[in-house]
Chain A
Amino acid sequence: AQSVTQLDSQVPVFEEAPVELRCNYSSSVSVYLFWYVQYPNQGLQLLLKYLSGSTLVKGINGFEAEFNKSQTSFHLRKPSVHISDTAEYFCAVIPNQAGTALIFGKGTTLSVSS
């Protein structure tokens, strides 16, 4: 079975500061990894994903994440956040097997203030 742990439920930061949202996963098989963002009163949208290849993946809105297989982590980073980045962020994993579904972490609320 797979599981996802987002280590921080809330992350408050000031505008233009860097931010890291932490995600660890466990799985007995190889997986694909994702970060989704949910703005208030909206559905989720894909930020970025790791399928294979380079362990550093870049997504929309200046976010990037690094896959670390030895530490089973997939932390999300942004060097300088904006007020508009305030949202809920979800890390998700799916086994590299047919017929399975995404498993989400519990989410991290990023609050950016001026």
Chain B
Amino acid sequence: IAGITQAPTSQILAAGRRMTLRCTQDMRHNAMYWYRQDLGLGLRLIHYSNTAGTTGKGEVPDGYSVSRANTDDFPLTLASAVPSQTSVYFCASSSGQGNTGELFFGEGSRLTVL
């Protein structure tokens, strides 16, 4: 069982370039999330999707977009990367039943914007 797969695991990117972080889950979970983790700031929610076809904004959505065309995939796109988007990005999913909130996380994607 793979759980959640994120790609790439690490990437160095020039400012102004477009970048898509991929996230795929095989647990048939309804809800998926993107968080960024920064030292001293913990995890902050970027975007989420409660079910396929719907998305919502989290705490820090600016500069990011997401789509949820199907249950399994939830890509995160940086249209024009800036250095402040240097971070570790985690994708997560939950079954969404009863809102018990248990999340399953991917291994993370470390992004450096120069």
Contact residues, A79-93 vs B (CB, 8 A): 90, 92
Interface residue tally on A, bucketed by range = 20 to 34
Q: Which residues of B contact A56 (CB under 8 A)?
A: none
Q: What's the tally of chain B residues with a CB closer than 8 Å to chain A?
A: 25
**A46-B102 CB under 8 A given contacts A99-B50, A101-B33, A101-B58:** yes
Residues of A within 8 A of B41 (CB): 106
A32 to B102, CA, bound (A): 10
Q: A106-B41, A106-B42 are in contact. Are A92 and B106 (CB under 8 A)?
A: no
Q: Looking across the interface, which residue of chain A has its beta carbon closest to that of B4? A: A43
Judged by a CB distance under 8 angstroms, whether A71 is at the interface is no
**Which residues of chain B are near A99, meaning CB under 8 Å?**
50, 56, 99
| Beta-carbon contact of A46 and B107 below 8 Å | no
Q: Is B40 an interface residue (CB 8 A)?
A: yes
Interfacial chain A residues near B105, Cβ < 8 Å: 43-45
Which B residues fall within an 8 A CB radius of A? Answer: 4, 31, 33, 35, 40-45, 48, 50, 56, 58, 90, 92, 99-103, 105-108
Residues in A lying within 8 Å of B, measured CB to CB: 6, 9, 32, 34, 36, 41-46, 49, 51, 90, 92, 94, 96-107
Report 5 cross-chain contacts, Cβ distance below 8 Å, ordered by A residue: A36-B103, A44-B105, A94-B99, A97-B99, A106-B40
